[in-house]
């Protein structure tokens, strides 16, 4: 069955960095676009970044552009999000999601919590 | 950015009755390929979001046919006929036509 397992979240100080990972299984990873979407505590959903199977382009929301970098390793069936210059308003559960096309998210992981606090 | 506005924000419904969720976008969601990339997600308490409907009206695999989506352009609706207890949660619409992709603020379905 399809599994997306995020890891790498935790507590980090403002200005710090974290690298999130998403391990995919149960499907052909190279058939799918992958994305990161986050949800601040008690809030709604924000689509952060997307990458196609061939990594030919990447997309970023303005809120993270220049600070976050999405990447994937198709040989390892893994998706990553490098997060630098973290701010308090980056505190959220971060989900990875797959989609057949850019802008689709048919399956989500369980999420990993990132807390940015002194 | 495209603003997605959902209403109502809270929807109390009696078990077995129907529920209707509205979603309006600040601009047309028709893409240059002719498709309309408007999806609906359900987030049950303590769970990750689950996609129910994509491209306005196509149900995802395993989604009961009690769920249906409709609409066009900027005005969209999700309907649940015969609400069940397991339907409790927050429902989000999302547009995947214009980057950045954006979600509505969500409608919370609760049982009366």
Chain segment B76-109, per-residue pLDDT in tens: 999 999 999 999 999 999 999 999 999 999 999 9
pLDDT at A27: 98
Q: For A111, list phi and psi in degrees, rounded to 5.
A: 95, 155
| Low pLDDT (below 70) residues in chain A | none
DSSP label at B57?
Answer: T
Among candidates A110, A118, A113, A97, which has minimal Cα distance to A41? Answer: A113
CB contact under 8 A, A62 and B49: no
Give the tens place of pLDDT for each residue, A56-90: 999 999 999 999 999 999 999 999 999 999 999 99
Give the tens place of pLDDT for each residue, B2-37: 999 999 999 999 999 999 999 999 999 999 999 999
A-chain residues within 8 Å CB-CB of B54?
A: 104, 106
pLDDT at A103: 87
CB contact under 8 A, A108 and B48: yes
> CA-CA distance, B109 to B91, in Å (whole number)?
7
Q: How confident is the model at residue B63 (pLDDT cuts 50, 70, 90)?
A: very high
Q: For A8, list phi and psi in degrees, rounded to 5.
A: 105, -5
pLDDT at B59: 98
CB contact under 8 A, A105 and B102: no
> What is the average pLDDT across B49-65?
98
pLDDT at B94: 98
pLDDT at A61: 97
Closest-CA distance, B103 to chain A, in angstroms, reads: 6
> CA-CA distance, A29 to A75, in Å (whole number)?
9
Question: Which residue of chain A comes nearest to B91, CA vs CA?
Answer: A44
Closest-CA distance, A44 to chain B, in angstroms, reads: 6
Question: Which residue of chain B comes nearest to A41, CA vs CA?
Answer: B46
> CA-CA distance, B92 to B84, in Å (whole number)?
18
Cβ-contact A11, A117 below 8 angstroms: yes
pLDDT at A100: 87
> CA-CA distance, A20 to B109, in Å (whole number)?
32
Among candidates B94, B92, B96, which has minimal Cα distance to B107? Answer: B92
B-chain residues within 8 Å CB-CB of A106?
A: 51, 54, 60
Q: Tell me the Ramachandran region of residue A76: left when phi exceeds 0, alpha when psi lies from -120 to 50, beta otherwise.
A: alpha
CB contact under 8 A, A61 and B51: no
């Amino acid at each position: 069955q399809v599994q997306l397992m995020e890891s790498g979240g935790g507590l980090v100080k403002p200005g710090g960095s974290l690298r999130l990972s998403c391990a995919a299984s149960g499907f052909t990873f190279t058939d799918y676009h992958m994305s990161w979407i986050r949800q601040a505590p008690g809030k709604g959903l924000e689509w952060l970044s997307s990458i196609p199977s061939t990594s030919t382009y990447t997309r970023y929301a303005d809120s993270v552009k220049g600070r976050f970098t999405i990447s994937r390793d198709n040989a390892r069936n893994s998706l990553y999000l490098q997060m630098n210059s973290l701010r308090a308003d980056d505190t959220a559960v971060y989900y990875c999601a797959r989609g057949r096309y850019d802008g689709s998210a048919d399956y989500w992981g369980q999420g990993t919590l990132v807390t940015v606090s002194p | 950015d495209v603003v997605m506005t959902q209403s109502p924000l809270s929807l109390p419904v009696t078990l077995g009755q129907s529920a209707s969720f509205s979603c309006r976008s600040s601009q047309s969601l028709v893409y240059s390929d002719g498709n309309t990339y408007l999806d609906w997600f359900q987030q049950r308490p303590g769970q990750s979001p689950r996609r129910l409907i994509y491209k306005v009206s196509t149900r995802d695999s395993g989604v009961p046919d009690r769920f249906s989506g409709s609409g066009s352009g900027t005005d969209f609706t999700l309907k649940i006929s015969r609400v069940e207890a397991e339907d409790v949660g927050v429902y989000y619409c999302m547009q995947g036509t214009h980057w950045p992709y954006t979600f509505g603020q969500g409608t919370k379905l609760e049982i009366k």
